Amino acid sequence: MKKKKKNKHKIPGNPAKYKGQKLPYAKLRMLVLETIQKSNSPTWTASQLLKKLRIANSKPDIKRVLDALVKHEKITEKEEGVYASLVRSKKSKPQGKPVKVVGKNVYEGKVDMTRSGAAYVIVEEMEEDVYVPARYVGGAMNKDIVRVDVLPPRRGKKAEGRIIEVVTRSLQQVMGTLKLYKRFGVVVPDRMNIHFDIIIPLEHVGEAADGDKVVVKITDWTQSSPSGEVVHVLGATGSHELEMQSILIHNGFNLAWPEEVIDECISLPEGIPEVEIEKRRDFRGVTTFTIDPITAKDFDDALSIRTLENGNTEVGVHIADVSHYVKPGTALDKEAYLRSTSVYLVDRVCPMLPEKLSNELCSLRPHEESLCYSAVFEFDEKHKVVDRWFGRTVIYSDHRFSYEGAQEVLDAGEGQFIDELKTLSKIAASLRKKKYKDGAITFETDELQFRVDELGQTLEIFVKERLDVHLLIEDFMLLANREVATLMHNKGKSKEIPFPYRVHDVPDPDRLQDFQRFARELGFSLKIDTPKQISQSFNKLAAAAKEDEKLRLLEPLAIRTMAKAVYTTNNIGHYGLAFDYYTHFTSPIRRYSDVLVHRILDANLEGVYREKKDRLEVMCKHISDRERAAMNAERESIKYKQMEYLKEKVGQEFEGVISGVIDSGIFVELVESRAEGMISFRTMGGGFYMTAPYTAGSRTGETYTIGQPVRVRIRRIDMTARQMDLELVDTESAEPKEGRVFKKVKGRKRK
């Protein structure tokens, strides 16, 4: 068993002796760290620690300590609110799964780099991570996949290893500052966990000048310091363009396409040869149209509809056949897998596929023939699916609807394709009703929309309105995704066919109990004894939040109690949608998971094809990781644009709603922009402090709690940290708002 490194500070020892006490910060920090490191449990939440320690400190106290331990790299945050030791000395070993041993004492794993330059190599199947001193890191970077030679532990020391090979690089590009010398240039990376500079030969500096912010592609790792070439010269520090680009780079997304990808795109044929059409089911004579956002440039799904001779209705869900153009092993395929997803920042898209594919060859544009992969369903008069077909097709799109345009036709009861839209709407409503009856959860978080000028500066912030036609499209996409997954499961019943499912686990019990107590404080009762009770309670909350602004703040907190959806070959169903089998089939232009699904489905329609499960699981994990990185980038861009919008409004007053309370102050969400800032207790006067979970009070009896409307003034905005400091102005004049208090515009991004 791995021994702990001695700490120069005194460890509190037996935690039982602190039962009922409120510990000071330093002692609490030591106790929390020791508890996590010595525990058999691989992960901890703040609630679990509070229950385990049985001390008088509050949950925010624990959370503050946990965040500080993460910042100082004593522990790691596996996902939001879930923490684990970097030592993991007692992590349980999974049963029935062999350790990935490359050679004697050589293992393969992922690098978890520390700021000191040392690293841990995480080998998932091993009981403990391998500590690698800085001198043995060998040029590996954070999140690289490496091979590590584990050395015999010395007496009294933890087991150590040395990295002998980097198998896969996590980053191909690095952002930093260029320094020019007589014979070469050097790029100093911005990121603190990259512990080396990058040498740039003068012939690869391009137009960059000394002191420029640049993006460098690393081309040679064989030297003591890697070398590379400048691929982008960025703007001045603090500029809007630089910030948006840095968000993409720091989350691992390339700004430009490799030359070989561009070359392959150029060589792709423009037209559709007749020999290809003859291989496919022909839908060109069937009424077909797309429904997308008004600003969309790529259209990756279309619906066809017709009445069959037996009186039933046939609906085709037609998806751009990306797999026809992007073949395994090509440069296009490798780059698409590397990115795995398109990234939607506030003012731009970083696409998974080059424009020639995403906006041209694979886009189902109106009045053009297109190659598709389709799921076709036959519905009886009760809107029940009685037959289904899957395969490659060719379509002709008769019309391009925007969401708003299709909704106007439905609302007016007349217009182009009104009969088809009415029928689709009725069938979609039946599918939706059954989904909710089976236990699906209805939560929908508001999506912000930013109106920007030609320079990218934010002029206005809105929240998009959810239209009935959004639901129509969503219901048919969900149907296709579910039916494809069900088909693949059934085909592999006797012997599993590895397949990338989209799964969603049940909520974490501890988080759920915390949320139940909080909801009760705001007057809403939740039943959480069974998964069905949970979904029913959440749906009731979603309905109640439309009438009560205070309850609206519960919706994002409820979502945080749930597990995150991921891609995996190990199907456990999708709890949030109440589907036993689910996958992603409908967006291959922007999701690599869907490209994989198309390939595996196609290979199994006529025969049986089994991808190696271990290889497919590695791909699923990579795609899930890239999805999380894209979500993080999108959140960062929203936060930056909110602060950018408000930085000229320092000193102005706004209506807000209290969204959180911690030991040091109150968080307030501004009604107009949905930006969140903090009021420090130091600025409030009257000796305010946290008196109970989610509540602040003073010695005079005045209290503030989550959901309470307040009026605030912006004191300061820190663009670098994306933080806003507020001060309380007047609570007497702030009256509760009825229903939604935020200006809305039409349109909504799809799931």
Q: Look at residues 32, 53, 85 and tell me which one is the last residue of a structural domain.
A: 85
pLDDT band per the 50, 70, 90 thresholds, residue 521? confident
- Are residues 158 and 43 both part of a single domain? no
Q: Distance between CA atoms of 738 and 528, rounded to whole angstroms?
A: 29
Q: State both tokens at 411.
A: 């609302």
Handedness of CA 267, 270, 275, 280 (dihedral sign): positive
Number of domains in the chain: 4
Backbone φ and ψ for 617, nearest 5 degrees, come out as -65, -40
Provide, rounded to the nearest whole percent, the portion of the chain with pLDDT above 70.
88
Mean pLDDT of 251-263: 91
**Which residues sit opposite 738 in a β-bridge?**
548
Q: State both tokens at 113.
A: 């780099």
Q: Is residue 571 in some structural domain? A: no
Mean pLDDT of 282-307: 95
- Are residues 655 and 626 both part of a single domain? no
pLDDT score, position 642: 94
**196 vs 684 pLDDT, higher one:** 684
Q: Distance between CA atoms of 742 and 72, rounded to whole angstroms?
A: 39
What is the three-class DSSP state of 678? Answer: strand
What pTM value is reported for the model? 0.76
Handedness of CA 627, 632, 635, 636 (dihedral sign): negative
| Identity of the residue numbered 208 | A
- Are residues 66 and 120 both part of a single domain? no
Nearest partner of 175 among 114, 241, 93, judged by Cα:
241
Q: Is residue 596 in some structural domain? A: yes
Q: Look at residues 574, 608, 633 and tell me which one is the last residue of a structural domain.
A: 633
The full length of the chain comes to 751
Indicate if the pLDDT at residue 420 is higher than 80: yes
pLDDT score, position 238: 59
Burial readout 680-706 (b: 16 or more C-beta within 10 A, e: otherwise): ebeebeeebebeeebbbbbeeeeebbb
- Are residues 324 and 420 both part of a single domain? yes
User: Could you tell me the maximum CA-CA distance found in the chain, to the nearest angstrom?
Assistant: 83
Q: What's the CATH code of the domain at 59?
A: 1.10.10.10
pLDDT score, position 660: 83
Q: What angle do CA 225, 231, 233 make, to 5 degrees?
A: 105
pLDDT score, position 738: 36
- C-alpha distances out from residue 200 to 97, 204, 284, 582, Å: 44, 6, 54, 47
Q: Are 658 and 712 within 8 A, CB to CB?
A: no
| Identity of the residue numbered 83 | Y
**282 vs 172 pLDDT, higher one:** 282
- Are residues 685 and 615 both part of a single domain? no
- Are residues 112 and 31 both part of a single domain? no
Lowest mean pLDDT among 45-54, 217-226, 336-345, 536-545: 217-226
Nearest partner of 374 among 315, 327, 425, 325, judged by Cα:
315
Sheet hosting strand 744-746, strand order edge to edge: 448-452, 458-465, 744-746
pLDDT score, position 17: 67
Over the stretch 642-661, which tens digit does the pLDDT of each residue have? 999 999 999 999 999 988 88
Look up the domain containing 268 and give its range.
263-498+586-633
Q: State both tokens at 115.
A: 């700021």
pLDDT band per the 50, 70, 90 thresholds, residue 68? confident
Indicate if the pLDDT at residue 98 is higher than 60: no
Q: Which long-range contacts (CB under 8 A, 24 or more apart) does 543-552 make?
A: 543/442, 546/739, 546/740, 547/739, 549/657, 549/707, 549/709, 549/736, 549/737, 549/738, 549/739, 549/740, 549/741, 550/522, 550/657, 550/706, 550/707, 550/708, 550/736, 551/522, 551/524, 551/707, 552/740
C-beta neighbour count of 209 within 10 angstroms: 10
- Are residues 21 and 66 both part of a single domain? yes
Q: Distance between CA atoms of 420 and 422, rounded to whole angstroms?
A: 5
Q: Are 109 and 121 within 8 A, CB to CB?
A: yes
Q: Look at residues 168, 203, 221 and tell me which one is the last residue of a structural domain.
A: 168
pLDDT band per the 50, 70, 90 thresholds, residue 464? confident
Lowest mean pLDDT among 102-116, 203-217, 424-438, 714-728: 102-116
Mean pLDDT of 431-448: 88
Q: State both tokens at 279.
A: 């291989």
- Are residues 77 and 145 both part of a single domain? no
Indicate if the pLDDT at residue 414 is higher than 60: yes
Interhelix angle 592-605/613-646, rounded to 10 degrees, is 150
Indicate if the pLDDT at residue 90 is higher than 50: no
Lowest mean pLDDT among 117-131, 240-254, 258-272: 117-131
Q: Is residue 504 in some structural domain? A: no
Q: What's the CATH code of the domain at 718?
A: 2.40.50.140
Indicate if the pLDDT at residue 360 is higher than 80: yes
- Are residues 594 and 654 both part of a single domain? no
- Are residues 72 and 142 both part of a single domain? no
Indicate if the pLDDT at residue 226 is higher than 80: yes
- Are residues 77 and 137 both part of a single domain? no
Q: Distance between CA atoms of 71 and 69, rounded to whole angstroms?
A: 5
Q: Is residue 466 in some structural domain? A: yes
Q: Are 272 and 665 within 8 A, CB to CB?
A: no
Provide, rounded to the nearest whole percent, the portion of the chain with pLDDT above 90.
47
pLDDT score, position 468: 94
- What kind and span of H or E run contains 131? strand 130-132
pLDDT score, position 224: 66
Burial readout 443-460 (b: 16 or more C-beta within 10 A, e: otherwise): eeebebbbebeeebebee
**Which residues sit opposite 704 in a β-bridge?**
696
Q: Is residue 673 in some structural domain? A: yes
Residue ranges in 12-107 assigned as alpha helix (H): 25-38, 46-53, 59-71
Q: Distance between CA atoms of 374 and 407, rounded to whole angstroms?
A: 25
Q: Is residue 644 in some structural domain? A: no
Nearest partner of 584 among 604, 606, 570, 568, judged by Cα:
568
pLDDT score, position 73: 66
What is the three-class DSSP state of 706? Answer: coil
Q: Is residue 432 in some structural domain? A: yes
DSSP-assigned letter for residue 631: H
pLDDT band per the 50, 70, 90 thresholds, residue 290? very high
Q: Distance between CA atoms of 363 and 359, rounded to whole angstroms?
A: 5
Q: Is residue 620 in some structural domain? A: yes
The overall average pLDDT reported for the chain is 85
- Are residues 48 and 155 both part of a single domain? no
What is the three-class DSSP state of 149? Answer: strand
